[in-house]
Structure 1
Amino acid sequence: MSRLRIVAARGLTGTEFARQVQAAFCRWLLIVAVLTLPALQAHADDWPQWLGPNRDGRWRETGIVDVFPESGLKTLWRAPVAGGYSGPAVADGRVFVTDFVRESGELKNNPGQRSELQGKERVLCFDAKSGRELWKREYNCPYQISYACGPRFIPTVDGDRVYTLGAEGHLLCLTVKNGEILWAKDLKKEYQTESPIWGFSGHPLVDGDRLVCLVGGEGSVAVAFDKYTGNEKWRALSASEPGYAPPTMIEAAGQRQLLIWHADAINALEPATGKVLWSQPLKPDYGMSIMAPRKEGDVLFASGIGDVGATFKLASDQPGAELIWRGDNQTAVYCANSTPIIDNGIIYGCDCRSGSLRAVKLETGERLWDTFAPTTGQRR
């Protein structure tokens, strides 16, 4: 039974559950071994990519603390990094992170305006126990995006290789051991597209010998590369904008389906070929398809900014999906920058309008409760 299932089974109230979720969020500090208490140390599984080993945001270790001591946590080590939104990936005793070192230009805090900056993106690797820098790779990377602080992508570690994606579309495959670049792609140049205004953000998905990426351009919103060579295996889909949602794998109708949510619709593709299996319109404001669609049973949920949220019933006999409900301003939860969790028929997610953590019935979209405890701490 997962940690979340234990919480739900205990029948916790909204506030109590929020405390549990808050502890889960804080686990990021524990997992990178930056902060911990020797007396409370427990074995921590690797966290080799966005949302963990299974890309589901759940940890499966035992012995995780629920409440931090009032005295705080002991700092084991610190390591300087520059700007960015990239979280750490942890695998085999190493911590990987990306950042951006600005050299010139004015950073504008305007969501609708692109900053023009000169600088370098970097890939950094640290020893998880000591914080010692093991290697570093950097490359020139002028920025022309909004919120141009740095990369958005959490590195993906796959065996002896690590994959990174920069905010301007630089896709790299490096060795875990010493950071040697095995292959690289400039997605903007190769696919004749521009950076989304908020940068390349959709975390690529390793699937067998493929690396599936959100790219952009005519007929190439989604592209699968050979993860060993970087050669293109297939490309698919066109859209008004590529969006920001990570490629997501599900199983339905007895087969694996690759979900690509771009600015106009959720699409299911055949993983090996990129063939479109089905498509359902779902258009968030400003092209902000960001969260990864989430599935429980035969129901799929996705939502975004602008009261855009819906569930779809997945067909059982052949690939397909039909609308169950669409949300309005009194129902659903509208997750923009964060991907929710669905457990036992309840959606738990942070609403992009209110800033609160909400619990919503998957079956109907009915709101059960909301709390600000793990977000702002008070109503805005």
Structure 2
Amino acid sequence: MRKDKLIASIIAAVIMIAGGIFLINWLTRSRAGDLEVRNPKAEVVEGLTTSSKVEIEKAGGKGKLYKEIGVASREKGSWLQFRGPGQTNIITTEKGLFSKHLIEPARIIWREKTGEGYAGPAVNNGRVYFIDYDPVRKEDSIRCLSFKDGVEIWKYNYPVKIKRNHGMSRTVPAVNDKYLVTLGPLGHLTCLNALTGELFWQKDLVKEYGTKIPEWYAGQCPLIEGEVVIIAPAGKEVLLTALDLKTGKPAWAAPNPGGTHKMTHSSISIMNFKGEKQYVYCASAGVVSVSAKDGKLLWTDPTWKINIANVPAPVVVDNEKILFTGGYDAGSKYVRLVKEDGQYKLQEIFKVKASVFASQQATPIYYKENFYGVIPDGQLACVDETGKQLWKSGTDKKFGLGPFFIADPDGVLLVLNDMTGVLYEVKADSVKYEELGKMKILNGHEAWAPMALVNGKLLAKDLTELVCVELR
């Protein structure tokens, strides 16, 4: 009897201790505002978050589809690709969003832990998509979360052994109502059912095209156009290609003569030049443009190339001008495309040093006849179409490699400090740097991922966490 009482006392003590630990943990978890809703799975981590009732399905190849407990929200609104609507990083559907300026504390809706990386989100049909990396399983992980609360709906994983090199994943998916396409750090191009996560097809660009993955891994973001996805393998024979979303079969393939051009971190931009749609890409040996109709190589510019890392996408202006920019002292070059006697030519409008205007990572924004971007010393800067620098934010106001976008017609530029995680609201005009508000939304270490804004909700990411913030 005495032994039974002793056992019962021990069990009771263990239960009390466990309960106390749980209570302390719950009470001491950080909160970033009264409206914060914690993702119930965000801290159940073995590699990446996984529900206790996970269902694993074979989805073809070596990948696995994990069904989770999340449910898509019913709200409309989308951010379908890198740089958002029209590839501009300008949001025109949020009128009046900034009638009240940003103030502390940030109203965090949910947070989700991630593997190390800088991959940005896409949003559609109440779902948030991004590519992640699971360091425990050593797998790329294409994840689908509920836009409402951040709870995972499904994830599709496939094995990839990769070492940390400034994180792993660093691209933005492309999505429509049926298809989701991602590019992994080692060149795995994957097309899934956007609703269910089931595999349509997958291509290893290295094996299939002879792609050479750039240092710091693949950074190119896929582009969905109608029934095809556009990608630049820049392999031994194929420079750019259009792949059928349903089958993965090529609709056309632009040649890469001599395998001259290699893949960079830059992404493809659309240009409608005098009724002819083109895809413009900054490859390793210069700029190339191909016909969207059949992949025919239209023109090249071997004078614009960056040997270390070419990251920003070409900025197309009025479908006849293009800004090229980059880090590592590349500066910026602004050109006009003309066609004379059937031949394409680039006429230089301006060329400026990096200290005047350049961007090492984020793609600059063209807005109301001016360019905005974070220059290599970390300052936010504005130049006009002649290359004249109109203003800089100042040496006491730097943003590192932080992302940014513009909300129109409010005329507001949002820029994220990559180390502090503070989001700044800045007036987007040519007069001066004018700060309107700010709020801390992330812990901030290497907050480099492209942001997304849908229905007044901002998605932003630092090295290991994705956050959803209410801005209304």
Please confirm whether the aligned pair reaches a TM-score higher than 0.5, indicating the same fold.
yes
8 Å contact from structure 1 (residues 221, 239) kept in 2: no
Give the corresponding residue for 1:220.
238
Give the corresponding residue for 2:9.
none
> Is 1:321–2:345 an aligned residue pair?
yes
Query: How big is the shift at 1:227?
Result: 1.6
Give the corresponding residue for 1:239.
260
Q: Distance in 2 between matches of 1:139 and 1:338?
A: 28
Query: How big is the shift at 1:142?
Result: 1.2
Q: Distance in 2 between matches of 1:320 and 1:169?
A: 32
Structure 2 segments unaligned to the other structure (5+ residues): 1-31, 39-74, 401-416, 418-472
Of 378, 381, 392 in structure 2, the residue corresponding to residue 370 of structure 1 is: 392
Amino acid paired to 2:330 = D
Between Structure 1 and Structure 2, how many residues are aligned? 321
Give the corresponding residue for 1:130.
149
Cα deviation code 1:260-295 (max 9, x no counterpart): 210222122111211111111244433422211112
SS at 1:76's partner residue?
strand
> Is 1:175–2:193 an aligned residue pair?
yes
Amino acid paired to 1:64 = L
8 Å contact from structure 1 (residues 314, 322) kept in 2: yes
Of 172, 178, 183 in structure 2, the residue corresponding to residue 165 of structure 1 is: 183
Query: How big is the shift at 1:44?
Result: 7.7
Q: Distance in 1 between matches of 2:280 and 2:384?
A: 23
Greater RCO structure (CA 8 Å; 6+ sep): 2
Give the corresponding residue for 1:302.
324
Q: Residues 345, 46 of structure 1: CA spacing in aligned structure 2 closer, same or farther, 3 A cutoff?
A: same
Query: How big is the shift at 1:328?
Result: 4.2
Cα deviation code 1:40-73 (max 9, x no counterpart): xxx8831122111322101122232352223x12
Q: Distance in 2 between matches of 1:294 and 1:88?
A: 21
Structure 1 segments unaligned to the other structure (5+ residues): 1-28, 36-42, 104-117
Give the corresponding residue for 1:45.
77
Give the corresponding residue for 2:160.
141
Amino acid paired to 1:303 = T
Cα deviation code 1:197-250 (max 9, x no counterpart): 121111111122221112122232322211221012232234353212111111
Q: Distance in 1 between matches of 2:352 and 2:337?
A: 22
8 Å contact from structure 2 (residues 331, 354) kept in 1: no
CA RMSD of aligned residues (A): 2.6
Query: How big is the shift at 1:325?
Result: 4.2
Amino acid paired to 1:184 = Q
SS at 1:77's partner residue?
strand
> Is 1:58–2:58 an aligned residue pair?
no
Query: How big is the shift at 1:337?
Result: 0.7
Q: TM-score, normalised by structure 1?
A: 0.77
**Superposed, which structure 2 residues align to 1:335-374 within 5 Å?**
335-351=359-375, 353-362=376-385, 364-372=386-394, 373=397
Q: Residues 218, 287 of structure 1: CA spacing in aligned structure 2 closer, same or farther, 3 A cutoff?
A: farther
Q: Distance in 1 between matches of 2:240 and 2:177?
A: 24
Which region of structure 1 is more displaced relative to structure 2, 248-257 or 366-375?
366-375
Q: Residues 140, 359 of structure 1: CA spacing in aligned structure 2 closer, same or farther, 3 A cutoff?
A: same
**Superposed, which structure 2 residues align to 1:6-45 within 5 Å?**
45=77
Of 63, 67, 92 in structure 1, the residue corresponding to residue 101 of structure 2 is: 67
Q: Distance in 2 between matches of 1:91 and 1:316?
A: 39
Give the corresponding residue for 1:7.
none
Which region of structure 1 is more displaced relative to structure 2, 158-167 or 118-127?
118-127
Amino acid paired to 1:45 = G
Q: Distance in 1 between matches of 2:239 and 2:79?
A: 27
Q: Distance in 1 between matches of 2:343 and 2:313?
A: 19
Cα deviation code 1:285-310 (max 9, x no counterpart): 33422211112233211111223421
Give the corresponding residue for 1:278.
299
Give the corresponding residue for 1:9.
none
Q: TM-score, normalised by structure 2?
A: 0.63
Identical residues among aligned pairs (%)? 26
Query: How big is the shift at 1:133?
Result: 1.4
Amino acid paired to 1:179 = G
Q: Distance in 1 between matches of 2:132 and 2:322?
A: 34
4+ residue segments displaced more than 6 Å? none
8 Å contact from structure 2 (residues 264, 310) kept in 1: yes
8 Å contact from structure 2 (residues 172, 222) kept in 1: no
Query: How big is the shift at 1:356?
Result: 1.2
8 Å contact from structure 2 (residues 121, 173) kept in 1: yes
> Is 1:87–2:120 an aligned residue pair?
yes
SS at 1:315's partner residue?
strand
